[in-house]
Structure 1
Amino acid sequence: MNAIFNVHDAKTHLSKLLDRVRAGEEIIIAKAGTPYAKMVPIPQERPKRQAGRFKGMFTVDDSAFFDPLPEEELRLWEGRDD
Structure 2
Amino acid sequence: MQTVNIHNAKTNLSRLVDRAAQGEPFIIAKAGKPLVKVVPIDQPAATQMKRLGFMAGQFSVPDDFDRMGDDEIEQLFGMNK
Output the TM-score relative to the length of structure 1. 0.50
Cα displacement string for residues 36-71 of structure 1 (whole angstroms, at most 9, x for unaligned residues): 000001118xxxxxxxxxxxxxxxxxxxxxxxxxxx
Question: Radius of gyration: which is bigger?
Answer: 1
Deviating runs (4+, > 4 A) in structure 1?
none
- Structure 1 segment 42-57 matched on structure 2, within 5 A: 42-43=41-42
* RMSD value, Cα: 1.2
User: What is the rounded CA distance, in whole Å, between the counterparts of 1:3 and 1:41 in structure 2?
Assistant: 15
- Structure 1 segment 54-73 matched on structure 2, within 5 A: none
Q: CA deviation at 1:15?
A: 0.1
User: Could you say which residue in structure 2 is the equivalent of 1:17?
Assistant: 16
Q: How much identity, in percent, do the aligned residues show? A: 56
5+ long unaligned stretches in structure 1: 45-82
User: What is the rounded CA distance, in whole Å, between the counterparts of 2:35 and 2:42 in structure 1?
Assistant: 22
> Quick one: which amino acid aligns to residue 25 of structure 2?
E
Count the aligned residue pairs.
43
Secondary structure, aligned partner of 2:41? coil
Q: CA deviation at 1:34?
A: 0.4
5+ long unaligned stretches in structure 2: 44-81
User: What is the rounded CA distance, in whole Å, between the counterparts of 1:29 and 1:3 in structure 2?
Assistant: 9
